[in-house]
Structure formats: structure tokens, C-alpha cells
Copies of this chain bind each other. A is one copy, B any other.
Amino acid sequence: MSAAELRARAAGWIDDRLGFGAVRELMSHKVVPVHAATPWYYFGGITLFLFAIQIITGILLMLYYRPTVAEAFDSVQFIMTRVEFGWLIRSIHSWSANLMIFVAFVHMFSVVFTHAYRAPRELTWLSGIALLGVMLAFGFSGYLLPWNQISYFATKVGTDVAATTPAIGEALARFLRGGEDVGGATLTRFFAFHVIVLPLAAMLLVGLHLLLIQKTGMSTPPWMDRSRVRTMKFFPNFFLRELMVWYGALAVLGALAAIFPWELGEKADPFTSAPAGIRPEWYFLAQFYTLKLIPSHVWFLEGEMVGLLFFGIAAVVWVALPFWASNPDGSLRSRLVTGLGIFLAAYLAVFTVLGYVK
């Protein structure tokens, strides 16, 4: 029996038992439309790739990280200075987290502008929005873990904002903090969210999201005539292109981590006053800046509460996008949606920059 024959037989043996044939069959039928907006299809894949990097680097960091007030900062310092390639792993984890959120936003807006959220993809949209929420929660909880001065006070501010939510605010803040104030209990809790609760949620949602995409196929923008749009095979044509993009993302990540290693700052000291210019991570900056602009009292309500109410209503409208984007006659309100998307993207961009500059 030649080596090739042996290989073929082994493959056949495994195939009999696992049924890879069915998967291959499915793969060969999956196609991707080819048109001017095709490059936007890559962004979902990049997000997935960065998420995989987060899982791998996150597990490696966990081998050394210790989620207590006394040791958190020192253990991160240990990772960055003593652990072989620890500096690289931690920098990549931090950079990749930020890139992932940025890419996810790009992915969301590309879906909006190509109107890919429309029926029958409502559940895909909802699961995607839920994933974005999970990612923001990852960012918020992960930010605290190094327990440095900036992250400590930013978390204080962040949970204070959460506390002003009408009705459930106080309970929500206490649940997040594990007590009356940000402290050891908060750190333990955020760690648990970050390494087990959110990852489980993310894996389930990613699975659902991919399954739904597999079921409904890739969307073509509504202004194109579907029957005349060319397609390419997902495998290998699209897959190889996606692989190229992933390699590119890896190079960008490595360069960022090596040239701009993520800073650690100073160990948090709850007894000092908050350092000047405390602000949250950039992806919360637009909301943060908006809340700062609202006067402290609007009519008879607290200013922050009004802001949160407004954000809440806006979020509900946004999440429900697939359900109001069609006219009663079934035609798409595409101008309205596009206009709203542009407005939202502009708002986020401008207010993030303003929040950063001011």
C-alpha cells in the first residue's frame, strides 16, 4: 500500500465516522456575490479572526493574571517584564480588543448601508447587535483588570453613570460592583464576567450568527438585480481572499504591539483623588461626552437620567431596525435608514473626537 493510498484509506475511515463529506458538500455550494460592495463582506471575518486572537491571548494571560486588588497590577507587570513574550501577548490582547470593536462597528454600518439587515435576516442583525454589546462589555470589564489608576477611576465613573439609570440604576451598579463601591469584589466579578460569562455568551452568539448566515447566504444590496450579480465560490476563492486580509490584520497587530506597547500606568490607589482627565475607553467616549453636555437638570429630571433615557430609546429604535425599515407595502425605506446611519456614524465620530480633545 503506497503512502498516498494509506492516506486515502485513513481519510476514508475518518470520513465514515465523522461525515466530513457532508460539510465539503455544503461548502462547495456556498457562494459569495461579487460586486462593488464585496469588500465589506470581509469585515465580519476580520472581527471573527480578532475574536479568535482574543481567546488565545486571553487564555495565555490567565496563566499568570491574578484578580485581586493586592496582586492584579503586579501580576500584569510580571507578565510584561518576566514572562517570555508576555509583553507581546498583553499588547496584542489590548490592541486586538480595540481593533475588534472598531471593525465590528465598521461591519455594522456596512450592513446598514447595504441594507443587509432586511428580512429574512432580522435574527442575524439581532444576534450581531447582541455580539456588539457583548464586545463592549468585554471592553468595559477588561479595562479594569490591570487595576491601574486610570482604569480604576474610569470604572468608578462608568458604574456611577450606570447608577443613574432610572429605576434599576442603583441595583445595577451594586450588581456590577459587588458592593457599594469599586473594590476587590468588583475586580473579582469583572474578571468572572470577562473570562467565563461573556466568552460563553460570545461563543453561543457567534455560533448562532454564523449558522444564520450559513442558512440565509450573503445578502446582495437591494439596488442590484440579484439575478445578474456574479458570484464566486466561498471555498476556495472567497476564503483565500479572507485569509489574505487576516494575514494583513495580523501584521498590523504585531506592528502596533511592538511599536506602541500597551502602557500599564500606575497602580490604582483608591485613596488619592481621581487623576485629571479621567475618561472611558474611546468606544464609550461619544456617550460620555454627550452626558457631560447635558445640563445637570432638565425640567424636573436629572440631566444624566434624561441622557440615559434618550440613549435607551435610541438603542431600542436601532435594535428594532429590521422591523420598521420596511413600508407597510413591503418596500424598503432605504433613504430613511441610510440617512439615519450617516447621522449616527457622524455623531459617533464627531463626539468621540470632541470627547477626546476636550
Contacts and interface: CB of A to CB of B under 8 A. Distances in A.
Contact of A66 (B17, B19, B68): B68
B63 A212 contact: no
Contacts of A64: 178, 185, 188-189
A17 B188 contact: no
A18 interface: yes
13 contacts: A14-B123, A17-B120, A17-B212, A18-B123, A58-B196, A59-B192, A59-B200, A62-B196, A64-B178, A66-B68, A66-B184, A70-B70, A196-B196
A142 interface: no
A224 to B, nearest CB: 23
A77 interface: no
A71 interface: yes
A122 interface: yes
A63 B195 contact: no
A134 to B, nearest CB: 15
Contact of A19 (B68, B197, B199, B215): B215
A16 interface: yes
A67 interface: yes
Q: How many copies does the complex hold?
A: 2
Contacts of A63: 178, 188-189, 192
A65 interface: yes
Nearest to A62: B192
A306 B62 CA distance: 35
A75 interface: yes
B65 A122 contact: no
A13 to B, nearest CB: 9
Q: Lowest 5 A-B CB distances belong to which pairs?
A: A62-B192, A63-B192, A66-B68, A68-B68, A17-B123
A18 B123 CA distance: 9
Query: Counting chain B CB atoms within 10 Å of each CB, which of A68, A75, A120, A178 scores highest?
Result: A68
Interface string A190-214: 0110011101100000000001100
Contacts of A123: 14, 17-18
Interface string A1-28: 0000000000000101111000000000
Contact of A195 (B75, B188, B195, B215): B195
Interface string A68-104: 1011000100000000000000000000000000000
Given A16-B120, A212-B17, A215-B19, A66 B196 contact: no
Contacts of A59: 192, 196-197, 200
